[in-house]
Amino acid sequence: MPQLNEQHILLVHPLGYQSEAAQQDISRRANIMPPLGLASMAAYLNAAGFVCRILDCYAHPDADQRLRELLRDFRPFLLGISCTTASFHDGVRLTQLAKVETPGIQVVFGGPHVSALQDKVIEFSPLIDGAVIGEGEQTLLELAKRGGEASEKIPGLVWRDANGKSVNNGYRQQQIVLDDLPFPAYELLEGYPQTYSLPIFNYPKTPNTSCLSSRGCPYQCSYCDRSVFRRTFRFNSADYLYRHLTYLKERFGIRHINFYDDQFTFHRDRVEEFCRLMIDKPLGMTFNCAVRANHVDRDLLKQMKAAGCWMVSLGIESGDAELLAQHRQNVDLDHLGETIRIIKGCGIRVKGLMMMGLPGETEASIRRSMDYFLSLPIDDMNLAKFTPFPGSPLYKEIHQHGSFDEDWPKMDCMHFQFIPDGMDKEVLEKLFIEFYKQHFKRPRILAGYVAMLWKSPDSWLRFIASSGQFLRFAFSNKRYGK
């Protein structure tokens, strides 16, 4: 058998469920986002002299055959698998396949699920050789330079010693300066950018893609996993960000960007400088971003609109102030509502991010959320089913607030795995569907989607191509293949 190549590293993004079901999964059809973390990791390792390949099983569900071919032809000595909670089991399954196909390969896991559980990941399966916690670039590079051999000298690594016991080296103390990073290796993503797509009606033009311009979030909402970057917040400079977009435009023809940052406008000065660059030296690109109501105002929003901002997402979560105050800081629904009206007044689309089933939720609180949400000029919505992820503040105490079925493959915000005290699953499912119907059946919303015929024609083409699945999802809320 050919030897493993000590310069070759394979990075994998698992699918998370059976590949034959992927083509019927409406959530996957609606949104396939590039694995930005792996693309950044690959660029960093390549710059240090290694040769990386990326296998994105979510974008290409025939993962097993693709993995076998890569292992045979590429012969990587190190396999890195980035996992969410829902995709962790699939990652372990791919690890088993890799160990059979290429004996001697070292397998290291990373991602939010891994940073949250740390030693438990190593203990879960003897097939896993190591786990990267926190920011991964430097840790994985140091591990690669040692030929995949773990050591107590590598911060950010959890590994198994000669006695089979897990050793946790703890988080790295020194964090990467984001402007020092090369642009992500998008070219290693097969079919990029055409393979990837933002949610329908969330963009005006194609090709489009997602991009990260910061890491972390300074807030500590009860439902958010902050185990990778913890409570730090770092960001690329406006100049780096402008050069990044210029690269995406010139290399891949990208015309619209979704900034996948938790809080794009948290540092106002850099957003203002970025907008000035986009206005003074236009790239012909538009963008979406997520904001928090207390970090935008009319002047900034006007500047963002002039720079190409097409849509803004806000995490509302609940329209019940008493419930929301239990889970996040600085709750002011009146201010939030006024901010949404200002955003609309500036000519920017608004997407409201809602959550159902938080601890303390009742049918009354859900109906208050509906009333609040429907009173606002919001164009689009994303309603998630609350999931207590490992790494979130609520996770450790979740059993005190209701019943929790910790079935990792179903912990994807598309299933009610947690049922609050006093509620039952059937009622939650019924209200979930009712919420979506109440939003989409309104004349103003329907008129807005008609307007997308000329504002986002590609969205309509995608909708028509999958109309049967979209409509079944809208009216039955069944997720295929899960």
* Confidence (pLDDT) at 471: 58
Among candidate residues 171, 74, 89, 186, the one with its CA nearest the CA of residue 131: 171
Please report, rounded to a whole number, the percentage of residues in the chain having pLDDT higher than 70: 94
pLDDT in tens, 353-367: 999 999 999 999 999
- Which residue bears the tokens 């396939």? 32
- 482 pLDDT higher than 90: no
Average pLDDT over residues 4-16: 94
* pLDDT per position as a tens digit, 295-354: 999 999 999 999 999 999 999 999 999 999 999 877 899 999 999 999 999 999 999 999
Residue type (1 letter), 69: E
Alpha-helical regions (H) of 196-320: 238-252, 268-280, 298-307
What is the per-residue pLDDT across 367-386, written as a single tens digit (0 to 9) for each?
Answer: 999 999 999 999 999 999 99
Phi-psi region of 159 (alpha: psi -120 to 50; beta: other; left: phi over 0): beta
Give the residue with greater pLDDT, 50 vs 229: 50
Domains, the chain, ordered by start = 5-168 (3.40.50.280), 198-476 (3.20.20.70)
Provide the pLDDT for residue 399.
Answer: 96
Give residue 101's pLDDT: 94
pLDDT at residue 226, rounded to an integer: 78
Span 457-462, average pLDDT = 92
Residue 248 contacts residue 207 (beta carbons within 8 Å)? no
Within 13 Å of residue 301, how many CA atoms lie on the same side as its CB? 24
**Token code pair at residue 214:** 């910061």
C-alpha angle 163-164-170 in degrees, rounded to nearest 5: 105
pLDDT the model gives residue 473:
54
Starting at the earlier edge strand, list the strands of the sheet with 106-110: 51-56, 5-13, 76-82, 106-110, 130-132, 157-160, 166-168
Residue 472 banded pLDDT, cuts 50, 70, 90: low
Residue 467: pLDDT band by 50, 70, 90 thresholds? low
Strand partners, 234: 215
pLDDT band for 240, please (50, 70, 90 cuts): very high
pTM equals: 0.93
